[in-house]
Amino acid sequence: MKRDRLAKGGPVHAALERIITECDVEGEIERDPVRAVHRYEDPLDAELVALMASAVAFGNVTTLVRKLDDALERLGPSPAKTADDPAAVQRALRGWKHRVYVAADLAGLVIGARRVQRVHGSMGRLFGAALARTDSVREALAELVDAVREGGLEKSASRGARHVLPDPRGTSGCKRLLLFLRWMVRGPDGCDLGLWREHVPTAKLLVPVDVHIHKLARNLGLTDRATPSITTTEEITEALRRFDPEDPVRFDFALCHMGMLQACPSRKDAKRCEGCPVRGVCRHWA
Ligand code: SF4
């Protein structure tokens, strides 16, 4: 009988473990927005900066890291302390811009997140309490998003204000929010920070899925769904859960930094697939 390729210990699992083993985490972090989060010792600063970093994590990585560094420079050594004065945040970020975001969008995010920290002790506490009550990562994320919006973005109807925090109750895959969650819950392991580990079990995490991870997941047979959405995210996570039920998202960083990810095509392509470390289990080649 043909061995289930998606079984624990099967060929796809083995290929993903190999990618984790070969990943140069330290080197790759230099090109990842999480790099900025590691500069902050105070957990409240780190939590706030992680939310900012995940919010801008789309598009060209060099540009987004530069824009993030610029915003953080403006907010001073402790963004959480600066955010205790909303007018100071608005002044500091005046003129800042990144793709669909204008300064008011990022300022609203920072001010709203800081307000949650002051009311609940940390964003992690609010999230953990909501998760314990609802047993739903999506609902807990939605409650966090509602609280941050209420504190800083509720008056803005701009495109950037809508995009900076997507609605976890909708169909969006919420890639950036799930990335924030991964950074906060997993670890500490040199990449993810583990600041919320006491509030949230890693088994509950969902894998952050962008267009590239979606395409790769289809090519590995982790999902057949044609479009990225929260259902696709749940399906891919479920497949990864077979390999590691306690920590299905631990494959994410290595996959994101696989090198081939940006080039991964939707069909067999000898040139673009050359040197791909998962070619042996890709359904176009296996
Ligand atoms: S072999 Fe090609 S199509 Fe398959 S996962 Fe690798 S890059 Fe993508």
Q: Whose CA is nearest to atom 2 of ligand 1?
A: 273
Going by the DSSP 8-state scheme, the letter that residue 171 receives in this structure is S
Give the position of tokens 């042996």.
280
Contact indicator for 78, 92 with CB cutoff of 8 Å: no
pLDDT of residue 258: 86
265 CB near ligand 1 (under 6 Å): yes
Going by the DSSP 8-state scheme, the letter that residue 135 receives in this structure is -
Query: Which amino acid makes up residue 131?
Result: L
% of the chain exceeding 90 in pLDDT:
85
pLDDT of residue 138: 95
3-state per-residue secondary structure call for 250-280: HHHHHHHCCCCHHHCCCCCCHHHHCCCCCHH
Cα(9) to centroid of ligand 1, in Å?
Answer: 21
pLDDT of residue 1: 38
278 CB near ligand 1 (under 6 Å): yes
Angle at alpha carbon of residue 196, lines to 206 and 240, rounded to 5°: 25
285 CB near ligand 1 (under 6 Å): yes
Distance in angstroms (rounded) separating the CA atoms of residues 113 and 122: 9
pTM of the model: 0.95
264 CB near ligand 1 (under 6 Å): yes
280 CB near ligand 1 (under 6 Å): no
Mean pLDDT, consecutive 10-residue stretches, the chain (286 aa), reads: 78 95 91 95 98 94 95 98 97 95 94 97 98 97 95 74 88 95 97 96 96 94 95 97 97 89 88 92 91
pLDDT of residue 116: 97
Chain mean position to CA 2: 35
Q: In 10 A of CB 6, how many CB atoms?
A: 17
Contact indicator for 84, 119 with CB cutoff of 8 Å: no
pLDDT of residue 157: 64
Residues 80/132/251/214 CA torsion (nearest 10 deg)? -90
Buried b (16+ CB within 10 A) or exposed e, 215-235: bbbbbbebbebeebbbebbbb
111 CB near ligand 1 (under 6 Å): no
Q: How many residues in total does the chain contain?
A: 286
pLDDT of residue 152: 79
Residue to mutate, 214, 271, 279, 283, ligand 1, most ligand atoms under 8 Å from C-beta: 279
pLDDT of residue 155: 65
Cα(282) to centroid of ligand 1, in Å?
Answer: 6
φ/ψ of residue 167, rounded to 5: -90, 110
Q: Whose CA is nearest to atom 1 of ligand 1?
A: 279
* Helices assigned H by DSSP within the chain: 11-22, 25-29, 34-37, 43-55, 61-75, 79-82, 86-93, 103-120, 123-134, 137-148, 159-164, 175-185, 211-220, 230-243, 252-256, 270-273
Q: Which of 20, 94, 48 is closest to 257 using CA atoms?
A: 20
Give the position of tokens 């105070």.
42
Distance in angstroms (rounded) separating the CA atoms of residues 51 and 107: 12
